[in-house]
Chain A
């Protein structure tokens, strides 16, 4: 079945440490990939997106993500986490050019930042 998997439900990192959030998908050959962040009680904000080209994409707030086709992954990274990064992060996939209306979301990863 087609799916978006975020294997880590909760992650805790210390402030200043590096971060990697995992995302794997099982959709078509040319997916369009996104990461969103949600602060408690708020809507979702787009962090970054990948459509084509350079497989390492830069986003807002110092985040980046790398698309690895061979691993069907799109992991989110940040070199040094700040306390304000504590939130829930969602990976999303649009399967391809014939399904541009529909986004499929992972179940999310909650990030806790220790001082």
Chain B
């Protein structure tokens, strides 16, 4: 069966520091991969999705970037964090009309 991992589970970073969140998927090949952000009291905002290695689509302009260096690895990055980057970050994998979520990373920018 498929498993999706995210790390770290929680992270506290100062404003202006860099960020790297990692997501890996096991048990499937060539999945679609997604990064979402969930701000407090709000729904899920799709940040990036990828249909293959090196293929990244950005949904909203922001301070973040994503990369997919391997088939089952998806990385969310920032060069300089802003206070507004705080939130709960969810990685998901999917095929056509399917989407399954990882456990999430709680990011607090101080």
Contact = CB atoms under 8 A, between A and B. Distances in A.
Interface of A: 6, 32, 34, 36, 41-46, 49, 51, 90, 92, 94, 100-108
Given A51-B97, A100-B97, A105 B106 contact: no
Given A43-B90, A101-B51, A106 B43 contact: yes
Given A90-B44, A101-B32, A102-B46, A44 B101 contact: yes
Contacts of A92: 99
B23 to A, nearest CB: 11
Given A51-B97, A100-B97, A101-B51, A41 B104 contact: yes
Contacts of A36: 101
Given A41-B88, A46-B100, A101-B51, 20 more contacts: A32-B97, A36-B101, A41-B106, A43-B90, A43-B101, A43-B103, A44-B92, A44-B101, A45-B101, A51-B97, A92-B99, A94-B97, A100-B97, A101-B49, A102-B46, A103-B34, A103-B46, A103-B99, A104-B46, A107-B42
B96 interface: yes
Interface residues of B, number: 23
A108 B51 contact: no
Interface of B: 4, 32, 34, 36, 42-44, 46, 49, 51, 88, 90, 92, 94, 96-97, 99-104, 106
A8 to B, nearest CB: 13
11 contacts: A6-B43, A32-B97, A41-B88, A43-B102, A90-B43, A100-B96, A102-B49, A103-B34, A103-B46, A105-B44, A108-B42
A6 B43 CA distance: 10
Contacts of B42: 107-108
A24 B38 CA distance: 20
B110 to A, nearest CB: 19
Nearest to A43: B101
A90 B97 CA distance: 16
Q: Which 6 A-B pairs have the closest CB atoms?
A: A107-B43, A43-B101, A105-B44, A44-B101, A100-B96, A43-B103
B108 to A, nearest CB: 13
